[in-house]
């Protein structure tokens, strides 16, 4: 099963509300992401990273750990990626 299909089924199976907003504080800034936005980001990252995330989520699910906490950590990765793109764009100008 492809990662994109798997993550959608995983979120649904665990009854996670994709419209729930997670608050992330980083470097004195506050960011808000829906779970749907985080999942969207996960769908476009490198396949190797997707497989590592899949493995981690499956382990967390098996151990009944809080999946939303991990999604919040992944959102920090989204922020870092956006900041890197913004810096690259500034340098290109």
Residues in the chain: 93
State the DSSP string of the chain: --HHHHHHHHHHHTT--TT-EEEEEETTEEEEEEHHHHHHHHTTS-HHHHHHHHHHHHHHHHTT--HHHHHHHHHHHHHHHHHHHHHHHHHH-
pTM beyond 0.95, yes or no: no
d(CA 65, CA 13): 15
pLDDT tens, position by position, 5-64? 999 999 999 999 999 999 999 889 999 999 999 999 999 999 999 999 999 999 999 988
């Amino acid at each position: 099963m492809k990662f994109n299909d798997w993550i959608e089924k995983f979120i649904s199976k665990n009854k996670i509300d994709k419209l729930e907003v997670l608050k992330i504080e980083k470097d004195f800034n506050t960011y808000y992401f829906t779970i749907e936005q985080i999942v969207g980001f996960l769908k476009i990252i490198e396949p190797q990273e997707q497989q590592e995330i899949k493995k981690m989520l499956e382990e967390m699910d098996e151990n009944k750990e809080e999946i939303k906490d991990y999604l919040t950590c992944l959102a920090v990765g989204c922020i870092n990626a956006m900041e890197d793109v913004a810096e690259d764009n500034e340098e290109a100008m």
